[in-house]
Chain A
Amino acid sequence: MTTITTENPVPGTREGLESGVLEAAANKRRKRTYLALLIPGILGLLVSFVFPLLYMVRMSFNEGAPDGVVIDTFTFQTYIKPLTDPYYWRVTLDTFRMGLTVGVLCLVVSYPIALFLVRSTSKYKGLLLAIAIAPLLTSAVVRTYGWMVILGTNGLVNTSLESMGLIGSPLKLTNNMTGVTIGLVEIFMPYAILAMISGFGRLSPQLEEAAGSLGASKFKVFMRVTLPLSLPGVFTAFLLVFVMAISTFITPRLLGGGSVQVLATEIYDQTTGLLNWPFAAALSVILLVLFGTIIAIYQRIVQKIGG
């Protein structure tokens, strides 16, 4: 048998490193590195995001005079008007109603596609998914224009219906809320589909099959398994579409043709037409607050449900 040494080697006689010195130095170095990496981005966002918003908030407390003159002061005047004038209450309500309608309709038309994509085992699944979300990267102006062509007085829908003899005179589908709603529903579909697919995480064909093999009917499987499991995705999609719809500008502007007034178009009119900068700023702050509140409430709800 070989020699048997069971002793640990003798500890070194020299003094070791003082506790934590090296780590502290390394932490300092690391901190310098990540700050250096972050600072350009932070500066970029300060200039292009934070400062404009802060400046706008400050502007909302100024007073607007005719011809775009801004009187530097500190007043709540700009907020009193939209909160007391029934016109602005109506615009706000219309904006909300549009958001809700678009949100609900968008869910209805997006849900089947999302469900189809989650369940699909087709080899074209990737392609179909890409087609469903690709419109997200096309210009909103172009897509709205497409809807003007479809819905206009001489558009696809009206000419088709007329030639079939179903209607006598063209339906009014543009320059009103109907057209805006249809356009927005389509424009936000890719977002809704994406959000739903991500939220459908717990949904699996196996689960549905299992329920089916236990004797549940197709309808029952859908109501008892599929739908409840897909609710988180549906909620997220609704919120996303709702907040985008209440703040969107291009589509209400083009498809509304000046006769649909929502907060976004009102902000634009106050700036370009009336040059009332403080008032436009106040409307924007109100929109931003609505936006933030809804998201905050939503996150509360999600936490409650999730926890």
Chain B
Amino acid sequence: MSEARLFKPRFNPAKPIFNIVVFLLYLFLLAPLIIVFVVSFASNQYLSFPPEGFTLKWYQALPSETIFVEGMKVSLIVAVFVTVVVLAIGVPAALALQRFEFKSKAAMEAFFLSPLLTPSIVLALGMVLLFGPLNLNNTYTGIIIGHVAITIPFVIRTTIMSLATADTSCEDAARILGAGPWTVFRRVTLPIIRPGVIAGGVIAFIVSFDEAVISLFVAESGLPTLPVQVLRYVENSADAAVAALSVILILISLAVVVVVERVMGLRKALN
């Protein structure tokens, strides 16, 4: 740094321009979230600009909007079950993929991550087709199964990441001190990889909670989740009630972001 300055003391105009560009792009990236926030407090009866005044009426109206309350209930139940199921099957799979050597390991890992590389509309259609004869459309079971596929890669990835950075000699030490395989997992491995498991769990929760396409196909008519309700509402009406709801959804996401960032770092968890 200091050496570079010795040779280049002059002012470089490229830098502030670059920083302004970056700032504007950040603004673009956050624009929809900011605007939803602003609109949710605006007293305009219909979506329009500029805001005519400040109001909390959209928030006060939310509890009486049965479709949102119902949708919220469905989404929460689904997301909780999905998180539990996907942790229960994802963490052991990650353990197998990280702590054991076997021939088909790379293929197996690709298999577990492949739902990420599948268009959700295609998956959604497949599910609605398969679930029809099984009578799973419009049921909790159907939506939950649908969401397991798209959330399992996140749990696998964050858990593998945590396992990869954990010192395996801790597990060896516990075994030598007399712990059997299950005890080693419960008392040593699991506490050590807890950040990855938590991060995977909350990401699975929010991905399921926010998922719209599979829920739309599988359960639009009978058991609409909150995103499906929002989708339908936005298509049909122009008032700002949905903005208040959106702000709440954004805040829930933000909480997840903070948890993930705290326990293992957002970039690590999502990359």
The reply to whether A and B meet directly (CB within 8 Å) is yes
Residues of A participating in the B interface, judged by any CB pair closer than 8 Å: 30-31, 33-38, 40-45, 47-49, 51-53, 55-56, 59, 109-110, 112-113, 116, 126, 128-150, 152, 154-156, 159-160, 183, 186, 189-190, 194, 197-198, 209, 212-213, 218, 243, 246-250, 253-254, 264, 267-268, 271-272, 277, 280-281, 284, 287-288, 291, 295
B130 at the interface (CB under 8 A from A): yes
Report B71 CB to chain A, min CB distance, Å.
11
Task: Give the most central of A43, A126, A142: most B CB within 10 Å.
Answer: A142
25 A-B residue contacts at CB 8 Å? A37-B93, A45-B149, A45-B152, A49-B149, A52-B131, A112-B21, A130-B266, A135-B30, A135-B33, A137-B206, A137-B207, A137-B210, A138-B249, A139-B246, A141-B227, A143-B33, A144-B32, A146-B36, A150-B32, A154-B46, A156-B49, A209-B4, A212-B8, A271-B217, A288-B122
A113 pairs with B25, CB closer than 8 A = yes
B253 pairs with A137, CB closer than 8 A = yes
Task: Give the most central of A30, A248, A284: most B CB within 10 Å.
Answer: A284
Report A205 CB to chain B, min CB distance, Å.
10
Q: State the main secondary structure of chain A at its contact with B.
A: helix
Interchain CB contact (< 8 A) of B33 among A51, A146, A159, A209: A146
A247 pairs with B129, CB closer than 8 A = no
Known: A138-B33, A145-B242. 13 other contacts (CB 8 A): A41-B156, A53-B123, A113-B29, A135-B29, A141-B210, A141-B234, A145-B32, A146-B31, A146-B32, A183-B32, A212-B8, A268-B121, A287-B119
Q: A138-B33, A145-B32 are in contact. Are A41 and B93 (CB under 8 A)?
A: yes
Measured between beta carbons, the chain B residues less than 8 angstroms from A133 are 266-267, 270
Report B269 CB to chain A, min CB distance, Å.
10
A34 pairs with B213, CB closer than 8 A = no
A291 pairs with B115, CB closer than 8 A = no
Rounded to whole angstroms, the CA-CA distance of A159 and B49 in the bound complex is 6
Q: A129-B266, A141-B227, A288-B118 are in contact. Are A40 and B93 (CB under 8 A)?
A: yes
Task: Give the most central of B85, B257, B266: most A CB within 10 Å.
Answer: B266
B9 at the interface (CB under 8 A from A): no
1/0 per residue, CB under 8 A from A, across B238-250: the answer is 0000110010011
> Among the listed stretches B58-66, B95-103, B162-170, B190-198, which one makes contact with chain A, having 4 or more residues with CB under 8 Å of it?
B95-103
Rounded to whole angstroms, the CA-CA distance of A72 and B123 in the bound complex is 21
A138 pairs with B210, CB closer than 8 A = yes
Chain B interface residue count, Cβ-Cβ cutoff 8 angstroms: 95
B31 pairs with A136, CB closer than 8 A = no
Measured between beta carbons, the chain B residues less than 8 angstroms from A51 are 130
Residues of B participating in the A interface, judged by any CB pair closer than 8 Å: 3-4, 7-8, 12, 14, 18-19, 21-22, 25-26, 28-36, 39, 46-50, 85-86, 88-90, 92-93, 95-97, 100, 102, 108, 111-112, 114-115, 117-123, 125-131, 145-149, 152, 156, 181, 203, 206-207, 210, 212-213, 216-217, 220, 227, 230-231, 234-235, 242-243, 246, 249-250, 253-254, 256-257, 260-261, 266-267, 270-271
Q: A112-B22, A212-B4 are in contact. Are A48 and B146 (CB under 8 A)?
A: yes
Interchain CB contact (< 8 A) of B28 among A109, A130, A140: A109
A52 pairs with B117, CB closer than 8 A = no
* 4 A-B pairs closest in CB distance: A146-B32, A247-B119, A52-B126, A41-B93
Measured between beta carbons, the chain A residues less than 8 angstroms from B256 are 137
Measured between beta carbons, the chain A residues less than 8 angstroms from B149 are 44-45, 48-49, 52
Interchain CB contact (< 8 A) of A137 among B92, B203, B235: B203
Rounded to whole angstroms, the CA-CA distance of A235 and B165 in the bound complex is 28
B35 pairs with A150, CB closer than 8 A = yes
Rounded to whole angstroms, the CA-CA distance of A234 and B15 in the bound complex is 22
B95 pairs with A254, CB closer than 8 A = no
B257 pairs with A44, CB closer than 8 A = no
Report A232 CB to chain B, min CB distance, Å.
15
Report A258 CB to chain B, min CB distance, Å.
9
A247 pairs with B234, CB closer than 8 A = no
A134 pairs with B266, CB closer than 8 A = yes
Measured between beta carbons, the chain B residues less than 8 angstroms from A146 are 31-36, 246
Rounded to whole angstroms, the CA-CA distance of A180 and B122 in the bound complex is 20
Interchain CB contact (< 8 A) of A136 among B30, B152, B254, B270: B270
Interchain CB contact (< 8 A) of A155 among B30, B49, B96, B235: B49
Rounded to whole angstroms, the CA-CA distance of A159 and B152 in the bound complex is 44
Report A285 CB to chain B, min CB distance, Å.
8
Closest to B48 in A: A154
Interchain CB contact (< 8 A) of B50 among A31, A130, A159: A159
